[in-house]
Amino acid sequence: MRATLFPFQDTALADLHEKIKKAHTLWSEKDPQVISFTAPTGAGKTIIMTALFEDIIFGHAYGVAEPDSVFVWLSDMPELNEQTRLKIESKSDKFRTRDIHVIDSNFDAEYFAPGGIYFLNTQKLGSDKLLTQKSDLRQYTIWETLTNTAKLQPKSFYVVIDEAHRGTATPQAEKKAQSIMQKFIMGSKEDGLSVMPLIIGVTATPQRFQKLVSDTTSTIQKVAVPPEDVRESGLLKDRIIIHFPEIAINADMTMFKEAAANWKKKCERWEAYCDREEIKNPVRPILVVQVEDGNDRLITQTDLDSCIAVLEDLLGRKLRPGEVVHTFDKHENIKVRDLDIHSVDASRIEDDENAIVVFFKMNLSTGWDCPRAETMMSFRHASDFTYIAQLLGRMIRTPLARRVESDAELNSVGLFLPFFDAETVKMVEQALRDSEAIVPTETGSHKELITLKRDPAFADVFSDIDLITYRIDSARKQPALRRLIALARALTQDMIAPEARRSILKKVLDEFEKEISELKNSGKFDSIAKAVTGLALRTLTIDYGSSAASTPDDAAEIVELSDFDLNNLFERAGKTLGEGLHREYWIRHATREAEDVKTEIIILANDNEAMERLESFAEKLFNNLYDAHQTAFRKLKEERKDAYKKLALSSTTPIALDWQLPQTIDFSVGEGAIVLENHLFIPSEGGDFISAASGHPFR
């Protein structure tokens, strides 16, 4: 994987492996299996599934590689499949483009090719579609391909039903898509489709997928990601700040100027942050503009000419081709004030580095992900509040997949609603809470949600503060050996301690040798080695026609384990130890017989007492190494600081962390707030500190 999974994603991945193993154990033709994988919007379901596909095809810590496995990903819209395909290609460093296939009307095969990921959408599966009919040009229907593959390899064929991004536009279309999806779960004699042996339903809410499987007798395993884990990860924005007039009046262009100014301010702050942090691919914020519907004469009743004029006046230059795009139903370029506005697919916006302004109507809420979308302006009226809430749910992902600690304003989304008032804004807030998205920690108006900055008058106080903190984190805990090697590698890469990796690796391998020596001296090693390198075969002879009970021979023949099986055990031991330590040990002992070295590692990794001692040794070494270099962490860029903090938080015992007061703070101001002078933090626009309504300065 090109992406490092968050702890909650690692937990979900491990749970999926466990449920798949259980499902394969329970499976029979009369008892097909279903796994319901529920994770809220923003949890990174596609990334987790990509990691799962990689593990199954290429092997993982708890199972050997199954390179012949096949995955079929089913959704109800081609655009959703395209977005998922692009994400898998961008996040996986093992799957190649040739391994990922989009099934079109020309597809014709008896079986799916081993090791492939196939994308299929329900719109191609109606009774009147080419894929479902034989012809002179088609030997096999798609139903036959599915059935043949399911019967050929029932325990290495996975059908993923993507219910997380339901895309059907009408109730009729949704009902049709659901009936087609149910064919995969229930089978269809009419089409010649057997029940799929294992279905994995990817869904944002359990109720949605439960509708699909309500009539099945299949065993259903469940995996769920808690929303609070996603919120704590930093994957999502902290705030949605809604801007609206006191009275809903026709002042839309005035509000658009404010929205554009907010977006420009975000651009400037992101540019400064990315420069300061030396981020290779800087964030380019997008202004998302929802326009009104059109008519026979106009593509939209919103004044696009005025919008472009406002933007060009704000930027102080002409907009360039490609900077403004649209996603209207008519896939054609439009010209506004001599500017060509190109039509783009929603799934392509995030990766289009030139696009900075997007005009759309009603087609962005379904399955659309664009973390670069920082500010949204809607020219639509209050009757569309549900749709606006759905779209906001797609905009709350952080562009860097982590919280920005040094600038709280970059952890918020701005929403501008000229045709809403205080009451209708509350409807948006409630609709957001009722949606499948995780609601940010705070949602409110620009008057309530403000940002505080350090008061320059107290610069000496901030520079003199030297504090530590302890955090009891819900992060998935990692073995100490893995954390130790990861810490040493990071210290070397960041040039904090250039020899750290070499030094720590030597100490760890020395400890391996010490533990292996003790196993040999105790006599445990030889007895275990016989079982590892040799397979005892006993013989049972049955006399045909005799009523006497048969008993196996007492003597067992010892058969030497094949190189293939020994290598599998060695690699599995390596995944237990982590960080390639099994191969480092092999390299150290390169002059010895490979079988002997591998056997030592296999026995070491499978001895519980030895592993407990190694973990204790690594934990102590990790703590000493971390404490010795905490001061150096302060000088690092934010992303690197965060990497060290995550290593510390994944420890089973709390570790003292360096703590400094932030540069900016998110703050809520309520009714009855009072002004307090000489406070360390002041509003970013200037002035004195304003307390919260309760009289307490911080929540």
pLDDT tens readout for residues 650-685: 876 766 666 677 777 777 776 667 777 777 888 776
Together in a domain, 560 and 421: no
- Among 446, 462, 495, the domain-final residue is 446
CB atoms within 10 A of CB 665: 17
**Contact yes or no for 106/138 (Cβ under 8 A):** no
Together in a domain, 224 and 243: no
Together in a domain, 267 and 387: yes
Cα–Cα separations (whole angstroms), residue 395 to 364, 495, 524: 10, 37, 58
**Contact yes or no for 310/330 (Cβ under 8 A):** no
- Among 228, 252, 277, the domain-final residue is 228
The CA distance from 599 to 597, in Å, is 5
Together in a domain, 207 and 290: no
Identity of the highest mean pLDDT range in 232-241, 620-629, 681-690 = 620-629
Together in a domain, 294 and 146: no
Whether the per-residue pLDDT at 582 is higher than 90: the answer is: yes
- Residue 543's domain spans which residues? 484-618
Residue with token string 């810490």: 487
For the stretch 286-316, what's the b/e string if a residue is b when 16 or more beta carbons lie within 10 angstroms of its beta carbon? bbbbbbbeeeeeebbebbbeebbebbeeeee
Whether the per-residue pLDDT at 699 is higher than 50: the answer is: no
**Residue 150: what pLDDT?**
97
Residue 460 in any domain: the answer is: no
Together in a domain, 257 and 204: no
> Using 50, 70 and 90 to split pLDDT, how confident is the model at 494?
very high
Whether the per-residue pLDDT at 166 is higher than 70: the answer is: no
H or E stretch at 506: helix 500-522
The CA distance from 386 to 632, in Å, is 49
- Among 176, 195, 228, the domain-final residue is 228
Together in a domain, 259 and 134: no
CB atoms within 10 A of CB 196: 26
Region 369-376 average pLDDT: 89
Q: How many domains does the chain have?
A: 3
The CA distance from 245 to 75, in Å, is 40
Together in a domain, 259 and 217: no
Together in a domain, 64 and 198: yes
Whether the per-residue pLDDT at 575 is higher than 80: the answer is: yes
Cα–Cα separations (whole angstroms), residue 40 to 91, 226, 438, 451: 20, 8, 6, 28
> Using 50, 70 and 90 to split pLDDT, how confident is the model at 537?
very low
Residue 682 in any domain: the answer is: no
Together in a domain, 398 and 417: yes
**Residue 136: what pLDDT?**
85
Whether the per-residue pLDDT at 264 is higher than 90: the answer is: yes
Whether the per-residue pLDDT at 239 is higher than 90: the answer is: no
- Helix, coil or strand: residue 322: coil
Summarised one tens digit per residue, pLDDT across range 185-214 is 999 999 999 999 999 999 887 777 887 788
Measure the CA angle with vertex 676, ends 671 and 682; round to 5°: 90
H or E stretch at 160: strand 157-162
Together in a domain, 244 and 183: no
CB atoms within 10 A of CB 671: 6
Region 367-380 average pLDDT: 86
**Contact yes or no for 556/640 (Cβ under 8 A):** no
Mean pLDDT of the chain: 85
**Residue 188: what pLDDT?**
92
Residue 689 in any domain: the answer is: no
Indicate which CATH number applies to the domain containing 43. 3.40.50.300
Residue 381 in any domain: the answer is: yes
Above pLDDT 90, what percent of the chain?
Answer: 49
Whether the per-residue pLDDT at 263 is higher than 90: the answer is: yes
Least confident of 240-244, 386-390, 431-435, 652-656: 652-656
Tell me the two tokens of residue 384: 């569309």
Summarised one tens digit per residue, pLDDT across range 497-520 is 999 999 999 999 999 999 999 999
Whether the per-residue pLDDT at 493 is higher than 80: the answer is: yes
Helix, strand, coil proportions of the chain in percent (round to 5)? 45, 20, 40
Cα–Cα separations (whole angstroms), residue 559 to 482, 534, 536, 595, 601: 35, 5, 6, 15, 21
